[in-house]
């Protein structure tokens, strides 16, 4: 057993050295790394950190942003969602144009450079509703980057208005969309999607809409939601789809692993999902992503999902970005996450300094400010 263990450690060391030397990891390699459950995880994290240093240098970035979720009414019932409400349900809301404009003005006064907006799929929304939201945000916060919607909302808007998804994206861009959120990806394996979000678009549709956006010059983020009922094979399949899209389009700005927040979700309450990822899995998701996604420069930690201490460890395991200050957040909070409202740059500074790196503000597209 001891000899076997040493042999495996040697093989892992060789693999990590090859990756740092420019070898492109195979899906089999990724599976092996994800399955690691002994002290070798620190070797993987150290190699990912070395790769981060070579690609990005000794900085930690963040963006000053605000979330404005316009409505939580949603026709879908995704099993991991603690945010959506049905019509008449307590806690449901739909912000008026005036409220949206006022929130945007407040964000502008706070000096945010980005407003994010993703909402529920309101039964009355169509393509015009989404472009209206973008226009209203622009009125309230001129010059601020609008990071809005996701492939699910684009598909919904197209269906409701009887137009194509490309047409929706063109309308959104004309209204002032700066970039599209790469959420609604969850796990890009239809078998899992049927369990966790049966009402959502398929893997192929998600990929198609993302490619359409990139083709129109609309950058997007890329995400994964892990730690519920997917397998490690599913995670690797997901990463492999993202890497292939990026090879083709180069339109992903960053990769954001989103650790499943289970507390208030139907999936967990019904016993279909487990109670989220473990610390080992969170660490490996960041490290393996850095090593596997050799064509996406920026790997973000989501402090909203994992908490700050785990986020700091992620920054030592391949990640380079702390995400946003988030003056308002309701989606993770709905699912039961704590401390989701605001992270002051001074607290981010404390974390960056603690790991010997400089904190730098960036805009949505990673230009340093």
Q: Which residues bind ligand SF4 (CB under 6 A)?
A: 74, 76-78, 81, 83-84, 120-121, 152, 197
Q: Which is nearer to ligand SF4, 118 or 177 (CB)?
A: 118
C-beta atoms surrounding 49 within 10 Å: 20
- State the minimum distance, in angstroms, from the CB of residue 84 to ligand SF4: 4
Note whether 340 and 308 are within 8 A (CB): no
Q: Which is nearer to ligand SF4, 59 or 272 (CB)?
A: 272
- State the minimum distance, in angstroms, from the CB of residue 82 to ligand SF4: 8
Q: Which is nearer to ligand SF4, 26 or 77 (CB)?
A: 77
- State the minimum distance, in angstroms, from the CB of residue 78 to ligand SF4: 3
Residue 80 CB contacts under 8 Å (≥ 6 apart), including other chains: 186, 196, 197, 225, 228, 260, 262, 265, 266, 267, 273, 335
Q: Which is nearer to ligand SF4, 84 or 113 (CB)?
A: 84
Note whether 180 and 211 are within 8 A (CB): no
Rounded to 5 degrees, what angle do the CA atoms 245, 247, 250 make? 80
- Torsion angle, alpha carbons of 350, 280, 11, 45, to 10: -10
- State the minimum distance, in angstroms, from the CB of residue 330 to ligand SF4: 10
- State the minimum distance, in angstroms, from the CB of residue 202 to ligand SF4: 14
Q: Tell the residue number behind the tokens 């198609």, with chain if given.
A: 208
Q: Which is nearer to ligand SF4, 92 or 345 (CB)?
A: 92
DSSP 164: -
Strand runs (DSSP E) across 298-344, as ranges? 321-324
- State the minimum distance, in angstroms, from the CB of residue 28 to ligand SF4: 32
- State the minimum distance, in angstroms, from the CB of residue 264 to ligand SF4: 12
Tokens representing 299 are 């790997």
The DSSP H or E segment spanning 128 is helix 127-140
Q: Which is nearer to ligand SF4, 121 or 351 (CB)?
A: 121
Q: Which is nearer to ligand SF4, 15 or 225 (CB)?
A: 225
The distance between the two most distant Cα atoms of the chain, rounded to a whole number of Å, is 69
Q: Is residue 309 classed exposed, middle or buried when 0-12, 13-18 and 19+ CB atoms within 10 A define those classes?
A: exposed
């Amino acid at each position: 057993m001891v000899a076997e263990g040493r042999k495996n450690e040697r093989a892992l060391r060789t693999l990590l050295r090859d990756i740092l030397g420019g070898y492109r990891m195979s899906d089999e390699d990724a599976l092996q790394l994800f399955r690691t459950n002994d002290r070798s995880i620190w070797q993987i994290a150290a190699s990912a950190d070395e790769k981060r240093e070579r690609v990005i240098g000794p900085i930690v970035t963040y963006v000053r942003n605000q979330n404005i979720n316009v409505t939580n009414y949603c026709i879908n019932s995704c099993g991991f969602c603690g945010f959506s409400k049905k019509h008449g349900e307590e806690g449901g809301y739909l912000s008026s144009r005036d409220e949206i404009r006022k929130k945007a003005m407040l964000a502008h006064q706070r000096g945010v450079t980005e407003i994010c907006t993703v909402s529920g799929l309101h039964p009355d929304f169509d393509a015009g509703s989404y472009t209206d939201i973008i226009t209203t945000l622009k009125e309230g916060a001129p010059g601020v980057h609008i990071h809005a919607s996701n492939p699910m909302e684009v598909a919904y808007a197209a269906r409701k208005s009887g137009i194509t998804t490309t047409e929706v994206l063109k309308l959104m861009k004309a209204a002032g969309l700066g970039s599209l959120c790469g959420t609604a990806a969850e796990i890009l394996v239809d078998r899992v999607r049927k369990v966790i979000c049966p009402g959502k678009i398929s893997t192929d549709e998600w990929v198609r809409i993302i490619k359409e956006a990139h083709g129109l010059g609309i950058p997007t983020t890329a995400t994964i939601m892990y730690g519920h009922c997917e397998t490690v094979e599913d995670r690797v399949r997901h990463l492999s789809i993202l890497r292939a899209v990026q090879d083709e389009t180069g339109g992903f700005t960053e990769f954001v692993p989103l650790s499943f927040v289970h507390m208030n979700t139907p999936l967990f309450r019904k016993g279909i999902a487990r109670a989220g990822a473990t610390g080992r899995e969170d660490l490996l998701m960041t490290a393996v992503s850095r090593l596997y996604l050799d064509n996406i420069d920026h790997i973000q930690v989501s402090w909203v999902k994992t908490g700050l201490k785990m986020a700091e460890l992620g920054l030592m395991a391949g990640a380079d970005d702390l995400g946003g200050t988030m003056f308002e957040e309701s989606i993770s909070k709905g699912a039961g996450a704590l401390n989701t409202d605001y992270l002051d740059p001074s607290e981010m500074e404390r974390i960056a300094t603690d790991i010997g790196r400089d904190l730098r503000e960036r805009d949505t597209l990673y230009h340093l400010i």
